[in-house]
Structure 1
Amino acid sequence: MKTDDLIRGLAADARPTRGLGTGFALALAAGCTGALALFAIMLAPRTGMPGLLAEPRILFKFVVTLSLAVAGAWTALRLVRPGADAAGPARLLAVPMVLLALAVIWELLASPPATWIPGLIGHYALYCMTLVPVMAAPVLGAVLLALRRGAPSQPARAGAAAGLLAGGLGAALYAFHCIDDSPLFMLTWYGIAVGIVTIAGALIGRRVLAW
């Protein structure tokens, strides 16, 4: 094969990154619309919402989940741009983790030991582990399709970041319904649910984002 032919072939195979941000935003909007539709069909807002957002423990759930989603989105967009440095966005992922760890420590110090296990188990752990991935699924699917416009050198990592984004948004949406407010519950069951979505994103992204 001649050098000119090789260059033309590589150029034809290269995926355009122009408009990646716009396509990502549109896909995210579509995925969120699907997630909201699932929420309307399957769940209902917790009694007292949105007024309960004035309660620190309830507001905290949205701070953690939404900050995780923002960090995941930023990291995913960096990872699908060839040569982009994803170290900064990846470090941002530490923010929700540190916040949650501090909240758990505070919970253990401020509450009697007899309340720890009930707070961790909660009322609807199984629902949480099931419904967060369900709410996240439309977001994950839409975002992965949008990220195909990029050219990630590590598609599994990019897919995992998309999973963190989707899992964070799914968890935030489920939090509108959830009556379990303990940081111990959130660390355990929300963490498992988001982990499921992240692993799914990595496994799917490894295939659909490869180029």
Structure 2
Amino acid sequence: MNTDYLIKALAADTMQPAMKFAYVWAGAVVLAIAVAVVVFFATLGLRPDFVAAVQTPRFLFKFVVTIALAAGAFIPARVLSRPDGRWRKAMPLLLVAPILLAVAVVVELSVLPSGLWASRMIGKNSMVCLTYIPLIGIGPLAIFLAVLRYEAPVQQTLAGAVCGLFAGAIAATLYAAQCTDDSPLFVATWYSIAIAGLALVGAISANVVARW
């Protein structure tokens, strides 16, 4: 056999699993977003003043945080889903969204009178938030758990938790378009609790569905 041909064949063999892995995750993300969008518009839809709200910085910042979390969770979720993944290097990406939110909370506390802190944190839609972020995110989480089962991760609990964060971030991004509580204090409290709930479900479920 020609040496050059053999080298190319071996290279192709090593590339195929990586390409297949990328396609699996790409398909999972597209499907997860589609499922979340369908659930969101079937149950909630956009807030009535959406066009006006887009012009306000607090409303837009909610998307900065949730999209940063989604982007930051995607790579660790991918890496953790592989048995040979070097996940430790990817984990710092999860810190971007909390840091942004912490800065926003400090700014919010500095510009708001202290008498308004509690009301802005509690908001008007805390129970709606705690209900619909998990409801919108459970479908995407199930899809990501199916990927974990397919890929067989070593760190099942951690992989499931990160997939829960990813699913929660997708759900929170959509929910933010309906939520009328725009204060970073509200986001830091109730969005975080709702997303953490999905992370917990993901961590527990991954130990069952992704064990090998």
TM-score (norm 2): 0.88
The residue correspondences of 1:152-171 to structure 2 (distance < 5 A) are: 152-171=153-172
SS at match of 2:106: helix
Identity %, equivalent residues: 37
The number of residue pairs the alignment matches comes to 196
Deviation, structure 1 residue 47:
2.2
Q: 1-side partners of 2:71 and 2:145: how far apart?
A: 16
Q: 2-side partners of 1:132 and 1:50: how far apart?
A: 22
Per-residue CA deviation, residues 139-172 of structure 1 (Å, 9 max, x unaligned), is: 1111111232223111111011100000001111
Partner residue in 2 for 1:70: 71
Query: Which runs of 5 or more residues in structure 2 are unaligned?
Result: 1-16
Is 1:147 aligned to residue 148 of structure 2?
yes
Amino acid at match of 1:94: L
Q: 1-side partners of 2:104 and 2:19: how far apart?
A: 41
The residue correspondences of 1:53-202 to structure 2 (distance < 5 A) are: 53-202=54-203
Q: 1-side partners of 2:152 and 2:25: how far apart?
A: 14
Q: 2-side partners of 1:17 and 1:197: how far apart?
A: 28
Q: 1-side partners of 2:53 and 2:124: how far apart?
A: 18
Q: 1-side partners of 2:142 and 2:122: how far apart?
A: 31
SS at match of 1:47: coil
SS at match of 1:19: helix
Query: Which runs of 5 or more residues in structure 1 are unaligned?
Result: 1-15
Partner residue in 2 for 1:28: 29
TM-score (norm 1): 0.88
Partner residue in 1 for 2:206: 205
Contact 1:32 1:138 in 2 (8 A): no
Contact 2:148 2:206 in 1 (8 A): no
